[in-house]
Homo-oligomer: A and B are copies of this chain.
Amino acid sequence: MRIAVLGTGGGGRAHAARLSELGHDVTVGTRDPERTMARTEADMMGNPPYPVWLADHPGIALATFADAAASADLVINGIDGANAVRELTAIGEHLDGKVLIDYAVPYEYNPDIPHKWETPWGWMPRLDPVDTDSLGERIQRALPRTRVVKACVTQEQETVVDPAGVGDGDHTMFVAGDDADAKAVVTELLRSYGWRDVLDLGPLACSRGMEMYAHMHTAIGLALGGRFGVKVVR
């Protein structure tokens, strides 16, 4: 499949690398490809400069958000929550009718506070929106002809693309969305990552719970200090 991964952060890189390994035709989208390729320092999350990463992943293309989306059958949104709606709206014509996987948590980054995840909760970003709305729904309202599926929200991205790396791989991936066919496409992709237990929570409004799980996820991660998954036990 021709897949666009929008965003050059750690999550986008994990998807792009795994999808390329699985034989897909992957284009990473960025705001300004020239600027991305000129980076020489780690990003604010500590990921190595993009050109260093790209050198280790030949075969992955880099393009503008618009060009990446235009050439793709399926799009993965890895643009941070604070900017996703604006950036996706700007390239909306290239997303018409397409399946868009959104895994972002809508953290409200405050540029006045250095980005760090101290203790629960020395400091942690707020969520915006929260409770009565979600980023997933906002993106869907901004792009009514795009088939938004919320998924890959409740794990570290390393675990999203390699579920077998935690326990025996028997933990749960959640999906939500208003288009059943789109969810089937995403579920198949997730199975190719190794997910055996994919639970469809229902309509896209379930994004609220998935995004709000972020604080619990962070707390569990800080308590355990390592990779983990969550399994729904029936």
Chain A residues near B (Cβ < 8 Å): 119-121, 126-127, 130-132, 166-167, 170-171, 174, 176, 199-203, 205-206, 208-210, 212-220, 222-224, 226-234
Cβ contact within 8 Å between B232 and A201? no
Query: Could you show 7 A-B contacts with beta carbons less than 8 Å apart?
Result: A126-B132, A167-B234, A199-B220, A208-B215, A209-B215, A212-B212, A231-B233
Within 8 Å by CB of A212, from B119, B132, B176, B213, lies: B213
Copies of this chain, complex-wide, total: 2
CB distance from A171 to the nearest CB of B (A): 5
Within 8 Å by CB of A120, from B205, B222, B231, lies: B205
Contacts of A212 in B (CB 8 A): 130-131, 212-213, 215-216
Contacts of A214 in B (CB 8 A): 209
Contacts of A220 in B (CB 8 A): 174, 199, 201, 232
Contacts of A228 in B (CB 8 A): 232-234
In the complex, A120 Cα to B206 Cα: how many Å? 6
Cβ contact within 8 Å between A216 and B219? no
Contacts of A213 in B (CB 8 A): 209, 212-213, 216
CB distance from A163 to the nearest CB of B (A): 10
Cβ contact within 8 Å between B217 and A201? no
Cβ contact within 8 Å between A206 and B234? no
Cβ contact within 8 Å between B234 and A119? no
Cβ contact within 8 Å between A121 and B205? yes
Within 8 Å by CB of A217, from B120, B167, B209, lies: B209
Contacts of A127 in B (CB 8 A): 131
Cβ contact within 8 Å between B223 and A202? yes
Contacts of A167 in B (CB 8 A): 233-234
